[in-house]
Amino acid sequence: MKKKVLFVASLFLATATFAQDGLTSKKGEAFLPEAGDWAIGFDGTPFLDYVGNMANGNTGNSVNATWVGNTPQMTFVGKMYKDETTAYRAKVRIGFGSTTNKHVSDTSTSTLTGEFTDEMGTSYFNLTLGGGIEKRRGNTRIQGFYGGEILFAIGSSSESYTYADAGSGSSTAATPNLHDPTYWDFDNAADAVGGERVLERANGSTMTLSLRGFIGVEWFLAPKVSVAAEYGWGLAMNSTGDGEEDTEEYAIATGGTTETLINRKHTTGGNSSFGIDTDNNGGVITIMFHF
């Protein structure tokens, strides 16, 4: 609470140098957006954290900020003003990437020699598209707004594993699993010997469709620069498809006498959900720039 009070006070001081009519600065610059203006915005949480840290020296300050289906700092927000009271909204996120994790095992107490490195590679893809219309009310620098939008999102991820110890598969029924490979279990973060180990994992793709209404307040603290707080309510549908997992194991097959390499394919079930409720109950704080 102390951080928020100090933040608001600092904003009042920052705007004290502007003209007192509330709509233009001393240089004649308009505070409020006009017909034909464009705007871009981003999540204001990091800025609020920074101001709070300056005020009380605490590096752990935070403001709860969530958004249905996404986090605001990962979504680009844009507006185009049809006129002073109507704006078209757009939200876009396109993200993809990959990561490689390595684990080097201690071979000093094993029969293995040299560097013993297992690897896990992960990749992901995320796409969010949204559009809507926003209506505004108010004749001062504090503006109310409301409207509706539709959002669509799709995401997927996968993992692949490579292991230094391939195992020989030369044990017999009398000495089963003697030569099962030693490897690092990335899922459980521990050394493992024998049993099934994952080679490939494709997680089911997730699709989200959301229809939401929103209402909020926007304060223009400088010409064409604003801070907005928004809440929403709407319908959300999520669907996650089935996933697949390829594994391998040295084992003695049923009726067999010698251990062999057995490959298996497992399917993980998907899920779906449906709900109508409020979203971003912690409030979304957005900083907008108009031009």
**Domain boundaries in the chain?**
2-14+31-290
Residue 145 has pLDDT above 70, yes or no: yes
Nearest to 12 by CA among 197, 160, 200, 141: 141
Q: Which residues contact 118 (CB under 8 A, 6 or more apart)?
A: 102, 103, 105, 161, 162, 163, 164, 183, 184, 186
**Beta pairing class for 142-162 and 197-202:** antiparallel
Phi-psi bin for 169: left (phi > 0), alpha (psi -120 to 50), beta? left
Span 259-276, pLDDT tens digits: 788 899 999 999 999 999
pLDDT greater at residue 55 or residue 17: 55
- Residue 147: both structure tokens together: 């409207």
Can you tell me the mean pLDDT for 211-238?
92
Q: Are 219 and 141 in contact (CB under 8 A)?
A: yes
Q: pTM for this structure?
A: 0.72
pLDDT greater at residue 131 or residue 15: 131
Above pLDDT 70, what percent of the chain?
A: 73
pLDDT of residue 215: 93
pLDDT of residue 176: 58
Please, what is the average pLDDT of the chain?
79
Q: Which residues contact 174 (CB under 8 A, 6 or more apart)?
A: none
Q: Which residues contact 73 (CB under 8 A, 6 or more apart)?
A: 42, 43, 45, 46, 65
Can you tell me the mean pLDDT for 97-111?
80
* Cα 278 to the center of its chain, rounded Å: 19
- Residue 86: both structure tokens together: 């109507």
- Residue 234: both structure tokens together: 């709407």
- Residue 1: both structure tokens together: 């609470």
Span 26-80, pLDDT tens digits: 888 999 999 999 999 876 554 555 444 544 555 454 443 333 333 344 678 899 9
CA distance 140 to 18: 14
Can you tell me the mean pLDDT for 114-139?
91
Return the amino acid letter for 202: A
Span 157-201, pLDDT tens digits: 999 999 888 776 555 555 655 667 888 899 888 888 878 899 999
What is residue 5's three-state secondary structure? helix
Can you tell me the mean pLDDT for 89-107?
89
Burial group, residue 194, by CB count within 10 angstroms (0-12, 13-18, 19+): middle
pLDDT of residue 51: 47
CA distance 193 to 144: 62
Per-residue pLDDT band for 243 (boundaries 50, 70, 90) equals very high
Can you tell me the mean pLDDT for 111-124?
81
